[in-house]
Amino acid sequence: MDLGLNNKRVLVSGASRGIGRAIVELMLEEGARVEFCARGEAGVAAASVHFGERAFGSVVDVTRAESVSGWVTAAAQRMGGLDIVIPNVSALAGGEDLDIWRQAFDTDLLGSAAMVKAALPALRASQAPSIVFISSVSGREVDMFAEPYGILKAALLHYAKTLSARHASEGIRVNSVSPGNVYFADGVWGSIERDQPDTFARCLAQNPLGRMASPQEVANAVVFLASPAASFTTGTNLLVDGGLTRAVQF
């Protein structure tokens, strides 16, 4: 299937590893041009070498709205506009401490909102504008990552639905993807496997398919929803969880 992504101008945050990195890789394979960011300079540099010349990386702290706005504006200028925006950064925060809540709120929710707000003028000028948020199954049901991670991922689902209704008349599609357990060596599940093997084994056994997802499997869903191939899909949340959740979606 031709996803219609050739020469589309794509913005992805948190793309130096994991799901974000896989999204950039697939976008490039489909012929898109990509600007990406991450917080760490070393990660951005390594990813830039890996991606090659069709992807331009920047060091951005998404908790600083002015930095996000400056990055989005500069990226749109370099690419001559924007077609697709994918906020992907998460603090992956857990715990009751209010400082952790603030970090998670500033990163997961305000970081995404700042990126979208800065990108909207360019998206309005696009012929195929699309936004895809990365939520989580933790935003749909209570699990071991419920507080504050899951709560803010649930807020992202509401935010995505709100934006989809608000901007449908402008042709801007807004969707979200909710991954289940996603394994990569330098990710959260890789860390749990090394440091808490019993917890890892228990959580792995809860996956009906008998394994966790790869970042590439999540990226496949994100890139499809972002692409013109999904041109009549907006306001939806796509689960990529291998059957982990049991609730019926109506």
Residues labelled as active-site residues: 135-136, 149, 153
Yes or no: say if 149 and 92 are a contact pair by the CB < 8 Å rule: yes
CA distances from 123 to 82, 110, 120, 187, 227 (A): 6, 19, 5, 31, 14
Q: Which residue, among 26, 134, 119, 131, has the nearest Cα to 65 in the 3D structure? A: 119
**DSSP string spanning 4-54?**
S-TT-EEEESS-SSHHHHHHHHHHHHTT-EEEEEES-HHHHHHHHHHH-TT
DSSP 107: I
Measured distance CA(133)–CA(90) in Å, rounded: 11
Which SS3 state, helix, strand or coil, does residue 139 take?
helix
CA distances from 190 to 146, 170, 183, 194 (A): 19, 41, 6, 6
Q: 93: which residues sit within 8 A by CB, 6+ positions away?
A: 100, 101, 103, 104, 107, 108, 148, 149
Yes or no: say if 242 and 213 are a contact pair by the CB < 8 Å rule: yes
Radius of gyration of the chain from Cα atoms? 17
